[in-house]
Structure 1
Amino acid sequence: MKLTKISATLGPTNTGKTFSAIEKLLSYSNGVIGFPLRLLARENFDYVKKQVGEDCVALVTGEEKIIPKEAKYFFCTVESIPDNNFDFVAIDEVQLCSDYERGHLFTEKILNKKGKKETMFLGSLSIENVIKKIYPEILIKKKPRLSNLSYCGYKNLTRLPNRSAIIAFSLIDVYEIANKIRQAHGGVSVVMGALSPDVRNAQVKLFEDGKVDHIVATDAIGLGLNLNIKNIFFSSIKKFDGHRERKLTYDEISQIAGRAGRYLNDGFFGTTGNLKSLSQESISFVENYKYTEIQKVYWRNSLLNFSNKNSLLNSINKKADKSYFIQKKNASDQRFLRILLEDDFVNKKIINPLILKKLWELCRTPDYSRELDEFHTRFLKKVFEFLVDKKKMIPASWVDDKLKNIKKKTAKISELNHKISQIRKWSFLAFKGDWMENNYLLQQKIKAIEFDLSITLHSQLINEFVGEFKGLKSNFDKTLEKSFIKLDTKNFVQFGRETIGKLQGFRFIVNHSFKNNNIYNNKILKKHLAFFAKQKIDEFKNSKSSDFDFKVNGEILWKKNLIAKLLKNSEISNPKIKVFFDDFFSNYKKEIELRIRKCFEHYFSQNIGFIKKINLIGKPSSNLRAVIYSLVENLGHCKRENVAHYYKYLKSDELKSLRECGLQTGVFFLFFKSKGAKLFRQTLINIFFEKLLSNFLEKNYYALKKSSFSKKEKEIYRRMGFYLIKISKKHYLVYFEYLEKIIKKNFYYKKKKLKTYTPKNNLERLILESNSKIIIL
């Protein structure tokens, strides 16, 4: 059997170690790389996804799991490397084995996680001797730095050169420095380990794309984040490491300073703010790529005994058997376990090794918010209660209730950071197998909340530290375009999970509360509203005539949205068109007017097209002109008695032309029969006479208690086709076509002496049964 190849690629920053590991990974059929930060895992996951396709690449961190069915290459945080047997395994930044907080976790993976075919460790030369002690036969590859690194002295914050990163070690310092740089230089990005990947990527993109020339970051920048930085400036060399404030080691200074100058480009490091200089010794250490040899690394026993609580505690506290191991004591998960094991309820519930093992897994839930141990363990105890209850699951209702508080809106950067740390805890629990009810749905919900918080935080950071600088546009904004800012099927504008407005026709109505929110959100929104406007116009130009509707008051609706209005013109049949639009649609005004005019002409042709036909009859006599005038004036009908004199003297060919155009002769009227003419005629005449009607006269007749119309009203109704009639002392407003239909039917039944005719209403009954004369008033 072929022995597994174990190697270590060691060197200072900017040696291409990670790149070589990815190349090696892709040469195998499967493999995994463990990174020290979630952000680094995400960065390299995104990079390789573009190389080999998203179906082949997985991301596994404490708070996030993206594992396609066909995934071959895994990018993980060191703690989250799965138990799969991979051909290739690489662990990055292995010198972190000497880190007080997480060193034992790195050591555990170095000892126990090996590839079937090859294992590769990446890191500083400082770890060489310890790695050799662990694996005496290991192959060490030393890589030189690709560019020079030089000290450039002190620079005032107001005079920092472009393409510079400023390092600070507390949130207060980060924001204070960012504010000063913004005032001096116009804009700055902010990067911290506590930021979500989305916010971090968006902030980095501002810097990478040259939208801002300065970036303020915590020491997270030292762990391999690949930025095109020319200069690194330290504002301090003191940090709080979770237990005490201490000075950075020379190796830590070197690791951070090494971020300056990427690939073959030389880099520079210096000081700024309250830090006036570095010691000559530390400068020499960095410039000459020196390192302090690591003598010992942190270790903790990973073969735990869950038979009972004492056995577990003893196995955790087992002493190291190697001189180069420092036994890790008092790690956060150990502290949480000790506190919970002192609780009576917890002790009573530990009735078998499986429950004890589950308690230990629960204690490994990170305290992202860095609360007091007592507060965090109270939370863990409540989760434990659910896990040992009858359902053995965290109820979705309880999770939803807790998430509501996190979802509450705030614009304060500090509160947003805290909320993101809280949501990371829920994300961690949601990905713990089957611990949570409605697991998949809650994963999606939690992810969406984190994304929304990230959007808000990014916006607030932009608003606070960048403002209107250099016309911002990042990949994060492109994500917004696809998934964050939407125009839904009901024309509501969605900004994240909030409905902030609506598209009404060709006008965006945005809530005032959102408009007053912040500059950056509005800037993002305007860009997308312009995009939506273009989409809507494309849809509008290709729409069917049936999508339009003409109301009696002249309003023109498109897909039930008001877009324009017909206004009075010199001719009834050719009204003006007024389009309603806002600035987002102003460039499309002519296109909108053209499409509406085209639609109007279609409706005109379909409903009262006979008007144009009779006007085209060639060489009309004076009598025909008189008849045509009366028919056109009323848009397709007139009383016979009003044109009897002219009609009587029409030539045979003129009568033939009128009949070919569809003219019908009734008892009272000459008219053109058309199904849609009734309502369309009302619209045109109502506009011309300036809105007598507020609603269509859709019925064929209206019974009146008394005839109290003014002369003008009576004339308008007449031109619409509704005539005031009197029969047996009763008054009706009747549509002329309907009246002709009743009279014709009545005449037919009486002539044939048929008794099967059943009147449908009082008017039909009156005409059938009464011998009274119908009088048109």
Structure 2
Amino acid sequence: MQLPPSSFSLRPVTAVLGPTNTGKTFYALERMSAHASGMIGLPLRLLAREVYDKMVARKGAQAVALVTGEEKVIPRSARYFVCTVEAMPLEREVSFLAIDEVQLAADPERGRVFTDRLLYARGRDETLLLGSDTMRGILSKLIPDIGFVSRERFSHLEHVGYKKVTRLPRRSAVVAFSADNVYAIAELIRRQRGGAAVVMGALSPRTRNAQAALYNEGEVDYLVATDAIGMGLNMDIDHVAFAGARKFDGRASRHLTPAEVAQIAGRAGRHVKDGTWGPTADCPGFPDELIEQVETHRFDPVTHLQWRNDRLHFGSLPALLRSLEQPPPRRELVRARMGDDEEALRRLSSRHDIRDLAKGGAALKLLWEVCQVPDFRKVTPDQHAVMLGEVYHQLLDQGRIREEFVARQLSRLTSTEGDVDALSTRIAHVRTWTYLSHRPGWIERGSHWQDEARRIEDTLSDALHEKLTARFVDRRTSVLLKRLKDDAPLLAGVTEDGEVIVEGEFVGRLLGFQFILDPRAEGPHAKSVRFAALKALRPELAARAAQLASAKPDEFTLTDHGTVTWRGSEVARLSKGPQPLRPDFRLVAVEHLPAGALPAIEDRLRDWIADRVEGLAGPLVALQKAVNRGGEGEGVLTPGARGVAFRLIENFGAISRRQIASEVKALEQAERAKLRDLGVRFGEYTIFLPALLKPAPAQFLALLWSLWTDTPVGTHPAPKAGATSIEADEAVPHALYYAYGYRPSGERAVRIDMLERLAQEIRKAREDAGKQGFEASSRMMSLVGVSGEPFEGVLKSLGYKKDTVTRPVEAKPAPEAQAPQGETPPADAASAQTVATDPAVQDAPNQQPPAEPVPDVGPMTEEQADEASPPAGTPSEPEAPQTSAPAAEAPHAAPTEAAPVEESLAEGQADAEPQTKAEAETETETVTLWRWAPPQRQPRGQRSGKPQGKGQRSDRSDGRQDQRGPRKGKGKGPGGPRKGGDKGPRTYSSAPPRREKKADPDSPFAVLASLKDD
């Protein structure tokens, strides 16, 4: 059986056959350019766009037309037409005509169109058929007098075996056969190798060109694509890796043929540059026979081409369907399987409304044209048929597709939000309307809707390109690796907020001298990115080092945790130094600075830290200088005063008076005066420097204490600024409380100056009460900011004992002076936490004054302090640990202070006469009084259960030996003669008698003594 005579032509036909990379397409363009007009049919619209750009460069935009299913650019003076095979306008006569990749005539899905073109499409003067050498035999049978031109491959193609995706060489293309696999492999390459471009047939030409540019221009070294790259796309590829060996051909999944493998692998190597290929990912190894076929370009010849009758009958629907089923005229041709257009026709013909409209003639022909609209959306056949039915109804009823219908459909597709799949779906829908708008006469104002559809597609294409790039390309890594490879200087800058930009890409932040890499920089190239960033930052780091070396004092800040910041960034951290007031430091993140810049930075920081120490701990620094000053003369401290000063420095400005009682009592008035001139205050309970009790100096001294004792900074939280007392924590060393300016007192830690003012208030109350004990007042409670049991704990820690007595109502003291046991003073007084007039808390915010003003009884004289201070042997308070010892050795028991000895009220009551009946009937009240109650001592030899050696004491509350030497008494208090007779055997010290001091006869304590004698 022969083809109809009309299928033959006397015009010359030449078949240019050979493997890939033989320059067949280039040869065709050269031949077309030599003719006055021409047309070339290409297998892919992506390739059509590429060839169109080349022809425009040769002949100019006005001479070249682009015709694809959904894109038509046809200038009025167009002489050269670049088309997809399906869209070739064969009604135009041209001098030259070429069909590329004619071996696709054997493809089950598209072969019938290629077969039709190679049989019937001809140029007036010359026709070229380009393809594989496997077509030689069947072309010679179908086309008489055809000429053949064989072309050899320019480069060698070699199989190199399996390679992991992460080990593929640069300039590789990975070929997968589904969108999901393409995305998965591209994501893997992005994480491991910096990124990959993505090319798929479903992409719009604009998106595909943008992605291809990423690869061709070297921004990425890897390409992940479908088998679309096998159809003539010219890219600089060195290695082709197959991620699979099966593909879905539109009906079923099947193995690739050797010719298809060769077509795809042949993209490796361009012109004279050799290429390699092989499997990767989950692709199994290729058989040796297939490898040999690919490398030698020897394949089984094509024996059959796909064919479908193109001479259709439109008399009726049954007649049209029968003509589509007509068998092929020759045995070299096989009837193609049902195409999408034929399937749509059969589905629509089953509808009564369509059958009633398409009974024959022009209506039936229009229906066939509508059915040929491609299913760009890739929806189900039923959905596609529904859309085609709507279009057909509108064309028959109104002669046009309604503009409002087109506008409504396109308006749903304008959003650029969503992921890659969402944008790809919208582009596919837009392609449908682009195709419809190019059908002559189908849409009113067709050119307008062509432009609108193209505008929407371009917008979506740009968004899709950005999404693909953001998802699959680490542009930063790619750019930096490329620049490092070229060893070119890197352009870098640092924004005001510290963002580091290298070659236009954000790579991290620069905080001071510390570079923090962007956490999104991951994978094996993270080190390379860091190296590139630091290389570019060298000038900036050197400039910052110079600025730091000459920085002004207000550019630095010291945090509570010992961190020195410069312009808000950490540059150093304090550490333990050679002396308590000379902390050291270590620089932070300076490993990338020039070595020559470090000495100047260290000198500047050392000066600033010294200024900071002198500014916040100035009185202590002055005391240190006085201790270090030798010689004799005015202003020079004596050894005794230097010893007291050294103990204050060692304890960071505050020390329990009892701990250095002997040293203090040994001081002359002139020595004390020198210490007072240096800011030292001799309190009843504590020797301290009042200027250091303010929040800022106290916080700083606590920091120095932590550094000096190797205690982690911030382990124990600081007291709230301005608090007069806080709850004592057993885990906090007492020495740290003293550094903060607080003295542990029972379950509370009371600010030192407030405790001294409490002592003054108690002294005044004792003077007023005489022999009787005093009552706690709201004024006392307001000084320490607590009442009830916590306040009682403070008094007990000071050596006072409460007693409940009954007395007549007439003897009831003023209400404001009472604080009966178990009752809470008025809320406005008892809950006061600070004293507004206190200079130590004037800077503390939101402090409330006490309800009643606390009278200032004035500082005690030295004699009063000595009289009020507890004797050296009074075990009322455990010693606060020396700061030179580890913090863990500090005792945690709440310390107490002894007060001057007062005669027991109970003893006086024991001697009182019994009450008379009238007195018993007198109205009485019960009150709580506080009296000094020193602990009873046992004979020295009986206190510890074993004999005591000479010069030793065992009067510590914890029973440990006290090595401070013999006890010195003054004839009063627990160590001297006790009024009321001996309470037990006495042991006298062998130490030489101490020089007695003359007491002030006008002091309150002298008055108390005289009252007791009476």
1:452 aligns with 2:459: yes
**In 1, Cα distance between equivalents of 2:477 and 2:74:** 38
8 Å CA contact retained: 1:88, 1:119: yes
Pick from 220, 224, 243 the counterpart of residue 228 of structure 2. 220
Q: 1:25 to 1:470 in 2, by over 3 A?
A: farther
**In 2, Cα distance between equivalents of 1:91 and 1:463:** 38
Equivalent AA in structure 2 for residue 307 of structure 1: G
**In 1, Cα distance between equivalents of 2:476 and 2:97:** 44
1:337 aligns with 2:345: yes
Partner of 1:207: 215
User: 1:48 Cα shift?
Assistant: 0.9
Partner of 1:628: none
Partner of 1:539: none
Partner of 1:358: 366
CA-to-aligned-CA distance 1:644-677 (integer Å, 9 cap, x gap): xxxxxxxxxxxxxxxxxxxxxxxxxxxxxxxxxx
1:269 aligns with 2:283: no
**In 1, Cα distance between equivalents of 2:419 and 2:319:** 47
Partner of 2:79: 72
RMSD over aligned CA atoms reads: 1.6
Partner of 1:534: none
Bigger drift between 239-248 and 58-67 goes to 239-248
Q: 1:274 to 1:351 in 2, by over 3 A?
A: closer
Pick from 235, 242, 247 the counterpart of residue 243 of structure 2. 235
User: 1:411 Cα shift?
Assistant: 2.6
User: 1:157 Cα shift?
Assistant: 1.2
1:399 aligns with 2:410: no
Pick from 129, 133, 138 the counterpart of residue 130 of structure 1. 138
Partner of 1:759: none
Q: Matched residue of 1:153: which SS?
A: coil
Equivalent AA in structure 2 for residue 145 of structure 1: R
1:142 aligns with 2:150: yes
Pick from 413, 429, 434 the counterpart of residue 441 of structure 2. 434
Q: Matched residue of 1:105: which SS?
A: helix
**In 2, Cα distance between equivalents of 1:289 and 1:469:** 41
Partner of 1:247: 255
Partner of 1:593: none
Partner of 2:432: 425
CA-to-aligned-CA distance 1:128-176 (integer Å, 9 cap, x gap): 1111111121001111111000011111111110000001111111011
Equivalent AA in structure 2 for residue 60 of structure 1: V
User: 1:471 Cα shift?
Assistant: 7.3
Q: How do 1:282-681 residues align onto structure 2 when only pairs under 5 Å count?
A: 282-389=290-397, 391-469=398-476
Partner of 1:102: 110
**In 2, Cα distance between equivalents of 1:384 and 1:329:** 25
**In 1, Cα distance between equivalents of 2:108 and 2:96:** 28
Q: 1:470 to 1:58 in 2, by over 3 A?
A: farther
Q: Matched residue of 1:402: which SS?
A: helix
8 Å CA contact retained: 2:178, 2:226: yes
**In 2, Cα distance between equivalents of 1:352 and 1:6:** 38
CA-to-aligned-CA distance 1:379-407 (integer Å, 9 cap, x gap): 00000010001x21001110111111111
**In 2, Cα distance between equivalents of 1:352 and 1:187:** 56
Partner of 1:490: none
- Larger relative contact order (Cα-Cα within 8 Å, sequence gap ≥ 6): 1
CA-to-aligned-CA distance 1:534-588 (integer Å, 9 cap, x gap): xxxxxxxxxxxxxxxxxxxxxxxxxxxxxxxxxxxxxxxxxxxxxxxxxxxxxxx
Partner of 2:21: 14
Pick from 141, 164, 172 the counterpart of residue 164 of structure 1. 172
Equivalent AA in structure 1 for residue 35 of structure 2: Y
CA-to-aligned-CA distance 1:29-56 (integer Å, 9 cap, x gap): 1010000111111100011101111010
Equivalent AA in structure 2 for residue 43 of structure 1: E
CA-to-aligned-CA distance 1:431-478 (integer Å, 9 cap, x gap): 0001012211110000001001101100001100113336779xxxxx
**In 2, Cα distance between equivalents of 1:166 and 1:351:** 51
Equivalent AA in structure 2 for residue 105 of structure 1: V
8 Å CA contact retained: 1:206, 1:472: no
Q: Matched residue of 1:145: which SS?
A: coil
CA-to-aligned-CA distance 1:283-305 (integer Å, 9 cap, x gap): 11111111221100001111111
**In 2, Cα distance between equivalents of 1:260 and 1:140:** 26
Q: 1:88 to 1:227 in 2, by over 3 A?
A: same
Unmatched segments (≥5 aa) in structure 1:
474-517, 520-777
**In 2, Cα distance between equivalents of 1:297 and 1:3:** 22
Partner of 1:178: 186
User: 1:215 Cα shift?
Assistant: 0.3
User: 1:254 Cα shift?
Assistant: 0.6
8 Å CA contact retained: 2:220, 2:478: no
Equivalent AA in structure 1 for residue 401 of structure 2: I
8 Å CA contact retained: 1:317, 1:329: no
Equivalent AA in structure 2 for residue 241 of structure 1: D
Unmatched segments (≥5 aa) in structure 2:
1-8, 481-519, 522-1014
User: 1:410 Cα shift?
Assistant: 2.1
TM-score if structure 1 supplies the norm length? 0.60
Q: 1:276 to 1:305 in 2, by over 3 A?
A: closer
**In 2, Cα distance between equivalents of 1:426 and 1:126:** 38
User: 1:13 Cα shift?
Assistant: 0.2
8 Å CA contact retained: 1:411, 1:460: no
Pick from 30, 39, 52 the counterpart of residue 32 of structure 1. 39
- In terms of Rg, which structure is larger? 2
**In 2, Cα distance between equivalents of 1:431 and 1:472:** 41
Equivalent AA in structure 2 for residue 140 of structure 1: F
Greater helix fraction, Structure 1 or Structure 2? 1
**In 2, Cα distance between equivalents of 1:145 and 1:468:** 35
Partner of 1:51: 58
Partner of 1:488: none
**In 2, Cα distance between equivalents of 1:127 and 1:311:** 34
Q: How do 1:729-768 residues align onto structure 2 when only pairs under 5 Å count?
A: none
Q: Matched residue of 1:246: which SS?
A: strand
**In 2, Cα distance between equivalents of 1:201 and 1:238:** 27
Equivalent AA in structure 2 for residue 13 of structure 1: T
Equivalent AA in structure 1 for residue 410 of structure 2: L
Percentage of matched positions with identical amino acids = 40
Residues paired across the two proteins, number: 473
TM-score if structure 2 supplies the norm length? 0.46
8 Å CA contact retained: 2:416, 2:463: no
Q: Matched residue of 2:123: which SS?
A: coil
**In 2, Cα distance between equivalents of 1:472 and 1:19:** 33
Equivalent AA in structure 1 for residue 400 of structure 2: M
8 Å CA contact retained: 2:190, 2:474: no
**In 2, Cα distance between equivalents of 1:469 and 1:348:** 62
**In 2, Cα distance between equivalents of 1:178 and 1:344:** 49
Q: Matched residue of 1:302: which SS?
A: coil
